[in-house]
């Protein structure tokens, strides 16, 4: 006899989490048979909501909820729309601290129960690590995709995902929109970059599979993104509609391998990209709305029958040709199952409901998507483990052993590109003084920082006295002059953090050139894209960390101070600035120090 699951009612039939079990299919069919049309439509939506609490948010969050969706709080949103899931954002004030997040997650699940829901919600987040983290300290932080690519170890990739997943689960979050499957072959890519594992399709594929296994080992659902591949674009789909020029052969060679690996690893969902791929579909619609891409390429060619989730529907890239009432309907008709973060949930929900009632979207087609969503929830144990506890937060989130693994894994990705005359490691001793200047990109979701201060602090703790003098990403003449004066005032070395240097950012180049001219050894640390090295003048030493959060700065400090040897290898090629067709540093390059 099946034991009742905590909170939510037991399923109509025993449903072991077997991907092909007849019991699972029977349970899903029986559950769908008990749903109203509105409940079925609600299962398709994963929506945002403002506030730190499910039922009693701040007045400003109440106002924001009313503007977006005509409700006061998460509890009302769940009840009104029978939601299948919610997604957390730092800017929506969902992720203040671990205990608050756990309370919010439990409150949202209780709201579903109070509204008579038979199905628990997916609680999702973008916690990729590195450039995209919605939750800050004390949650354990890793270096991000490209840092893992430079590390190169599938064991480390698995360990990172398992730890991140375990901490998310302890906070009541049961889906992470990760890993990134994009192959970043464009150095000018403004939206992927260091979020990708690298530019080698087979290496990316291996790390993707390892991370999927790691998250699932922690009981967290995964999402391979952004299909059919967002790695070769110079446009940000948040603000415009990128065009990918890959034809079928190039797509198969470059973009497909990570998604094939994700499917083979049993990925729970695949997220669409708001990109045009005219070599595959010349209709003018983005991949999210393309039947040729979602059904023809993903389902038929790759054989994928799991959940297809759209990227956020409030992004400009998917809203250029169609109104907000048509986009969710067209996504469903193209082959999507879950509709993520529409700009107006009331509009999107009403449009899908009307499309089903009119027959534009058949009830059979609706049931297919609902069944996929329910199967994903079953397979990840969401029915059994919808709620978390304060004890789980205390025991798991930010555990010392987790932080130790994060430091070790991230440290193994730091890449030494230049080391003239063995400047690195920097000499230790109280008489040695290091000046740390440069860019301080804002940490995502307040994940520590600023980088120059963290780097100086960590160097000092390691026996290399250092002080920080941040100069910004676009230092003016005054800032550059101040840095030069400080370097000449007894500095034994200058460490310069750089961020996304290009031919269009001459200020950072001028800063480095002015410091080199002082004769003091200059060490540059690229704290985001590693391509900076191509645009900077020759320096004594150059490192790439692929990230700027505290864990990456600690890793850089240990390499600079000689506490660990640099082991990272470039997961992307760095082309020459004066000849982009030639490599300054090839994939796989890295000095041992």
Residue 330 lies in a domain: yes
Q: Do residue 349 and residue 446 come from a single domain?
A: no
pLDDT given at position 217? 97
Parts of the chain with a pLDDT under 50: 1-5, 13-19
pLDDT given at position 460? 96
Q: Rounded to 5 degrees, what angle do the CA atoms 273, 200, 441 make?
A: 65
Residue 401 lies in a domain: no
Residue 138 lies in a domain: yes
Backbone angles phi, psi at 399, to 5 degrees: -60, 145
* Residue whose entry in the numeric block shows the structure tokens 């020029």: 245
pLDDT given at position 245? 85
Q: Do residue 365 and residue 448 come from a single domain?
A: no
Closest CA to 193 of 182, 203, 202: 182
Residue 13 lies in a domain: no
Q: Do residue 436 and residue 319 come from a single domain?
A: no
Query: Could you write out the three-class secondary structure of 531-571?
Result: HHHHCCCCCCEEEECCCCCHHHHHHHHHHHCCCCCCCCCCC
Q: Do residue 223 and residue 319 come from a single domain?
A: yes
Domain CATH for 541 = 3.40.50.1700
Catalytic residue among 238, 324, 346, 492: 238
Q: Do residue 355 and residue 461 come from a single domain?
A: no
3-state secondary structure (DSSP) of residue 584: strand
How distant, in Å, are the alpha carbons of 11, 38, 40 from that of 32? 11, 12, 7
pLDDT given at position 566? 96
Q: Does the annotation mark 311 as catalytic?
A: yes
pLDDT given at position 14? 42
pLDDT given at position 504? 85
- Residue 149 parent element (H or E): helix 145-151
Domain CATH for 180 = 3.20.20.300
3-state secondary structure (DSSP) of residue 292: helix
Q: Judge if the upstream peptide bond of residue 5 is cis by omega within 30 degrees of 0.
A: no
pTM for the full predicted model: 0.94
Q: Judge if the upstream peptide bond of residue 179 is cis by omega within 30 degrees of 0.
A: yes
How distant, in Å, are the alpha carbons of 13, 14, 23, 222 from that of 28? 9, 10, 9, 20
- Full DSSP string of 187-223: TT-SSSGGGSS-S-HHHHHHHHHHHHHHHHHTT-B-E
Whether 150 contacts 415, CB under 8 Å: yes
pLDDT given at position 13? 45
Closest CA to 129 of 139, 121, 119, 120: 139
Whether 57 contacts 50, CB under 8 Å: yes
Residue 515 CA to residue 502 CA, distance in Å, equals: 18
Residue 592 lies in a domain: no
Q: Do residue 247 and residue 293 come from a single domain?
A: yes
Q: Does the annotation mark 72 as catalytic?
A: no
Q: How many domains does the chain have?
A: 2
Catalytic residue among 268, 311, 341, 550: 311
3-state secondary structure (DSSP) of residue 86: strand
Q: Do residue 386 and residue 255 come from a single domain?
A: yes
Residue 404 lies in a domain: no
Whether 214 contacts 201, CB under 8 Å: no
The residue range of the domain holding 263 is 22-396
């Amino acid at each position: 006899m099946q034991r009742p699951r905590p909170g939510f009612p037991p399923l109509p039939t025993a449903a072991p989490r077997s991907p092909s079990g007849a019991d699972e299919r029977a349970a899903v069919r029986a559950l769908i048979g008990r749903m109203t049309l509105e409940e079925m439509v609600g299962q398709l939506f994963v929506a945002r909501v403002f506030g730190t609490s499910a039922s009693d948010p701040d007045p400003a969050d109440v106002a924001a909820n009313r503007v977006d969706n005509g409700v006061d709080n998460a509890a009302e949103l769940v009840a009104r729309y029978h939601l299948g899931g919610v997604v957390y954002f730092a800017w929506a004030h969902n992720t203040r601290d671990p205990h608050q997040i756990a309370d919010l997650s439990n409150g949202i699940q209780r709201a579903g129960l109070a509204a008579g829901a038979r199905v628990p919600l997916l609680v999702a987040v973008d916690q990729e690590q590195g450039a995209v983290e919605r939750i800050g300290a004390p949650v354990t932080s890793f270096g991000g995709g490209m840092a893992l690519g430079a590390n190169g170890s599938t064991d480390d990739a698995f360990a990172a995902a398992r730890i991140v997943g375990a901490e998310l689960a302890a906070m009541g979050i049961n889906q992470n929109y990760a890993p990134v499957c994009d192959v970043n072959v464009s150095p000018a890519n403004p939206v992927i970059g260091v979020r990708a594992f690298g530019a080698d399709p087979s290496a990316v594929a291996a790390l993707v599979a390892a991370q999927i296994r790691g998250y699932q080992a922690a009981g967290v659902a995964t999402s391979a993104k952004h299909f059919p591949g967002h790695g070769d674009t110079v446009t940000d789909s948040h603000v415009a509609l990128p065009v990918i020029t890959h034809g079928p052969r190039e797509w198969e060679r470059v973009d497909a391998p990570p998604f094939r690996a994700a499917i083979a690893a049993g990925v729970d969902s695949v997220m669409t990209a708001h990109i045009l791929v005219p070599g595959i579909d010349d209709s003018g619609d983005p991949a999210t709305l393309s039947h040729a891409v979602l059904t023809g390429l993903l389902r038929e060619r790759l054989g994928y029958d799991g959940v297809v989730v759209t990227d956020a529907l409030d992004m400009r890239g998917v809203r250029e040709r169609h109104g907000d009432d048509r986009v969710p309907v067209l996504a469903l008709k193209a082959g999507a199952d879950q509709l993520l973060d529409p700009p107006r949930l009331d509009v999107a929900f009403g449009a899908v409901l009307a499309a089903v009632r009119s027959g534009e979207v058949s009830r059979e087609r609706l049931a297919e998507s609902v069944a996929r969503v329910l199967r994903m929830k079953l397979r990840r144990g969401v029915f059994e483990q919808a709620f978390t506890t304060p004890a789980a937060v205390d025991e798991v989130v930010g555990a010392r052993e987790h932080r130790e693994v994060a430091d070790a894994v991230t440290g193994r990705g730091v890449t030494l590109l230049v080391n003239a005359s063995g400047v690195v490691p920097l000499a230790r001793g109280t008489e040695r003084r290091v000046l740390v200047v440069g860019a301080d990109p804002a940490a995502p979701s307040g994940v520590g920082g600023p980088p120059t201060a963290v780097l100086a602090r960590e160097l000092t703790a390691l026996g290399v006295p250092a002080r920080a003098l941040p100069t910004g990403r676009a230092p003016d003449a005054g800032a550059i002059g101040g840095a030069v004066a400080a370097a000449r005032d007894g500095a034994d070395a200058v460490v310069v953090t750089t961020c996304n240097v290009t031919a269009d950012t001459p200020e950072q180049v001028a800063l480095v050139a002015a410091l080199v001219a002082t004769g003091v050894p200059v060490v540059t640390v690229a704290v985001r894209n590693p391509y900076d090295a191509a645009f900077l003048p020759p320096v004594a030493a150059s490192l790439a960390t692929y990230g700027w959060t505290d864990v990456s700065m600690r890793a850089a400090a240990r390499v600079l101070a000689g506490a660990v040897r640099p082991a990272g290898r470039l997961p992307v090629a760095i082309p020459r600035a004066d000849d982009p067709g030639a490599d300054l540093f090839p994939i796989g390059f890295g000095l041992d120090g």
